[in-house]
Amino acid sequence: MKSRAPRTIIDKIWDAHTIVQRDDGDCLLWVDRHFVHEGSHHGFAYTKARGAQVARPDLTFGMADHYVPTRTGAVQPDDTRRMIRQLQENAAQHGITCFGEGHARQGIAHVVAPELGITLPGLLIVCGDSHTSTHGALGAYAFGIGASEVAHVLMTQTIWQSRPKRMRLRIDGTLAPGLSAKDMALSIISRIGTGYAQGCAIEYAGSAVRGLSVEGRLTLCNMSIESGSRLGLIAPDETTFAWLRGRSYAPQGDAFDAAVADWRQLASDDEAVFDREIVLDAKDIAPTATWGTSPEHAAAITAHIPDPASEADPTKAEALRDALAYMDLKPGMALTDIPIDRVFIGSCTNSRIEDLRAAAAVLAGRHAIVPGLVSPGSGTVKRQAEEEGLDRIFTAAGLEWAGPGCSMCVGMNGDVVPAGERCASTTNRNFKGRQGKGSRTHLMSPAMVAAAAVTGHLTDPRLLTEGRQP
Amino acid sequence: MKPFTTLDATACPLGLTNVDTDQLIPARFMQTPRSKGYGQFLFHDLRRDGDGQLRDDFPLNDPRYATCGIVVARKNFGCGSSREAGVYVLVDQGITCVIAPSFGDIFAANSIKNGLLPAVLSEADIEMLLNEPSVVEGRGIRVDLERQQIVAGNRVFDFAIRADWKKQLLNGWDDVDMTRSYAAQIKAFNAADSQTRPWAQPAKQD
């Protein structure tokens, strides 16, 4: 038998999904899973306008996350209510399984699909949401698409793509105790910048990545888009298989074992060549937070805010000045001197059970001196957290325990940070106005958000967790 | 979709870096049906001050660029959220070309579906174009997609665009029709794939 040239995991999944390759190199790829949410209404409208049907409703899943209310008694405008209803109606009309408002397993698509085993290694997954890269944590090739592409996938269950550049980002060594995948992700972006990985698919590798739990891997892959890449993924291993076994939409019994045998073949071949390679050492990663208005405006908690005056590139200096003006911060200020007005724990980045445990480990027996909201990523996470008593730790600390959804990460459902307020947040974007008009966002890990809630300013969470079990 | 061939229009020297789609259209406006027009939301919060008044210092508010059909920006334009509304706000405002050194991948793909040309120039050329008098004074420039050229005053810049995107824009092609012409290949793929990847089917429906 002729042996094939060595391939990366990126190529292996790509090749397995290629239906046709055009002369210009673009490929028509088969889509294994498509998640639609309330914001997918443009896609359904296009489909309807063409009088077309949904090609594969069995591979399409509805997830109410962007606009659903998370607080009991929340009053939402009619337009918002209409969008939440529309998702249910579109799903019902086309025979799509829908985890809509009120469903026991409703939650954020990027939390719900992995935890139900809808996400599997080797699948190609799309969703009209840029954080679809999250699913790469289980070894899936997953990326965000726009509304026209949503319509195309609804009608054909396929998508046109150009082959990505392959990039391997290896993190060797062991992450220091008290640090998390979020520190890893922010640290990477602060080093390579938000545009560095444009056009790339990233494979995360190395012992520090292997050492992450599936929850941590989901956080790391989630933030891939913030470095500009199309997606990030991790080759599935024993950690992945153990986590997936028994989940309701995953293959069961012998079928699971057979699938695992196939999934083991997905790992990049030893001799496979990447277009770009970056190697980092885990010991250089510190607890990290953002100070500006782009995820690349991040630094170690022990660092100081950079001075635009010492930036040689005038465009970069101007961008720094603009960010500091919006954030109302001064050059040279210690990150730990940044006061906060509010905290948010949640989002597709950090709303899973381990994230809530890490925050609760800091907050147990303590009081938050600022208000804050905790939104678990799904109904399933919420119930588990309540069984573990985490909800009572949050409420005893003075934080509000809410329902699942995108909530205050993007503010679409009405959970917003008031103008001018500074929020310590476990989310993924610190763009101007992201959490509400005039809001100021500092991105960090759940443990650091919890520490900030206790002290009222950015704080190294390790100072508060010494001797405590996360 | 209307083909894109050449465009003669004034260009707004926006000059911003890392323009994310949350700036192009804040999330709170995305519940609006498209039929109401999205142009009103373009750069909504950057264009206005705290009291909702239009800021004199924001380039799009400058009368010279009020009817611009082109925007010139710095690198990583359209990064962030996948929202296609980030393209709708431009197209509905009559802007069908953005010139920048690089684009967010999803934004660029969304642009093609809506007939908006994401033209790539080097950072050095962008700096030149931002200071080019015909741009600054709002006299209008020409974008020629077939030749991949931007003519501004006496200067000519060669821009880059993916070959397939160029073809699609020039012809105004629709993806769905093209894909449907491959129906037989899709069917053949499915037949083989269900044998090689039986686990790819969701195990349970509830």
Domains, in order of start, for chain B: 6-176 (3.20.19.10)
Question: Please, are residues A138 and B163 in contact by the beta-carbon 8 Å criterion?
Answer: no
> Residue A468 above 80 pLDDT?
no
> Which of B17, B18, B21, B43 should we substitute to test contact with A (largest number of A Cβ atoms within 10 Å)?
B18
Instruction: Assess A121–B contact: CB distance below 8 Å, yes or no.
Output: no
Predicted TM-score (pTM) of the model is 0.95
Quick one: which of A350, A365, A321 has its CA closest to A448?
A350
How many C-alpha atoms does B171 have within 13 Å on its Cβ side? 10
Quick one: which of A126, A411, A338, A84 has its CA closest to B27?
A411
Chain A, 16-55: which have a CB under 8 Å from a chain B CB? 16, 19-20, 22, 24-26, 28, 30, 32-33, 39, 42, 45, 50, 52
> Which of A434, A440, A441 should we substitute to test contact with B (largest number of B Cβ atoms within 10 Å)?
A434
Q: Give the model's pLDDT for residue A212.
A: 98
Name the residue among B17, B175, B189 with its Cβ closest to that of A30.
B189
Instruction: Pick the more confident residue, A2 or B22.
Output: B22
Name the residue among B79, B85, B200 with its Cβ closest to that of A194.
B79
Do the Cβ atoms of B109 and A45 come within 8 Å? Answer: no
Q: How would residue A1 be classed by pLDDT, with cut points 50, 70 and 90?
A: very low
> Which of A14, A42, A46, A196 should we substitute to test contact with B (largest number of B Cβ atoms within 10 Å)?
A42
Chain B, 113-152: which have a CB under 8 Å from a chain A CB? 113-114
Q: How would residue A470 be classed by pLDDT, with cut points 50, 70 and 90?
A: low
| Mean pLDDT computed over every residue of chain B | 94
Instruction: Pick the more confident residue, B175 or A218.
Output: A218
Residue-wise pLDDT tens digits, A158-211: 999 999 999 999 999 999 999 999 999 999 999 999 989 999 999 999 999 999
Q: Give the model's pLDDT for residue B206.
A: 54
Chain A, 177-196: which have a CB under 8 Å from a chain B CB? 194-195
CA-nearest residue of chain A to B163? A24
| Mean pLDDT computed over every residue of chain A | 96
> Residue B205 above 60 pLDDT?
no
CA-nearest residue of chain B to A24? B164
Q: How would residue A456 be classed by pLDDT, with cut points 50, 70 and 90?
A: very high
> Which of B105, B122, B180 should we substitute to test contact with A (largest number of A Cβ atoms within 10 Å)?
B105
For residue B175, list chain A residues with Cβ-Cβ distance below 8 A.
Answer: 148, 152, 160
Do the Cβ atoms of B18 and A429 come within 8 Å? Answer: no
Query: In angstroms, rounded to a whole number, what is the distance separating the alpha carbons of residues A184 and B16?
Result: 28
The mean per-residue pLDDT over the stretch A363-389 comes to 98
Residue-wise pLDDT tens digits, A261-312: 999 999 999 999 999 999 999 999 999 999 999 999 999 999 999 999 999 9
Residue-wise pLDDT tens digits, A400-422: 999 999 999 999 999 999 999 99
